[in-house]
Structure 1
């Protein structure tokens, strides 16, 4: 890689790391795994740097890489065993309920099927268009629409169950995730 390309990649990585880490976190629900996924995704971007379209394809490729890494991590057998043994920490009450609402949404996201979770996160958190989401996931736009619709319906159902507290309105969910 040329010296200028190294500088361009470093600039891109610094700007994209936080966004990729948050996207990964919303998909897997674990900050440590999200950090690893974001780093692995940036390694994939680095390896393909000279072949990528630097004007339009960098963010799409980076999102595709982070989604792929998170889904690959979930398939590892040792990862599933570890998750089964984890005991979740009980958070302290939040008088403003913003943290509680955020945790409810993150827990509900974790219960979605991987493809639904990816579509909901990319569409409503990462603000990708239907076409961009389809490109990142390697599926058709119709599949993105249906998976997003099913994922949002499942989220609504989970968030409005008795015992989950009051859920945020549908148009407020994005703010809750931030």
Structure 2
């Protein structure tokens, strides 16, 4: 059974889709985002009990829906960015852990790293994963793992007052202060 609005939707998409997509692209900036926006607007317009007398009237409603959906999306993304910005400035909750060789200073220094940087450092040097294993575990490239790890070790060095010849590895020795050393020293420990 064909619903009353289906022929109107088909005609609108056939005749006016390029114009709707152009309008959405002006708002979004990318064709991909514009296609999603037009799709959302079409669903919002025709998802209910759409009753339009002409394609021009239907197009008018879809154009309004495009603008409304764009503003709603921008507001939502803005709120998400604000939340991320606020949370990024807060220290992560310190959880009491009992791992041999981890000092309170190291745990505190790790807690201020950005989440992805922290994950790379922990997986690479505390869980002893390879670069490839870390990349697969986090779903990022090996180059990103190297960069995040290097940045993390540099930040840890600064926070802990330690130094490293190559900023490649972090060694935590039992009952000792955290020590950042070259990779060769870590493998021999």
Q: Tell me the TM-score range normalised by the shorter chain.
A: 0.3 to 0.5
Structure of greater relative contact order (alpha carbons < 8 Å, 6+ residues apart) = 1
The higher radius of gyration belongs to 2
Q: TM-score, normalised by structure 2?
A: 0.37
Larger relative helix fraction: 1
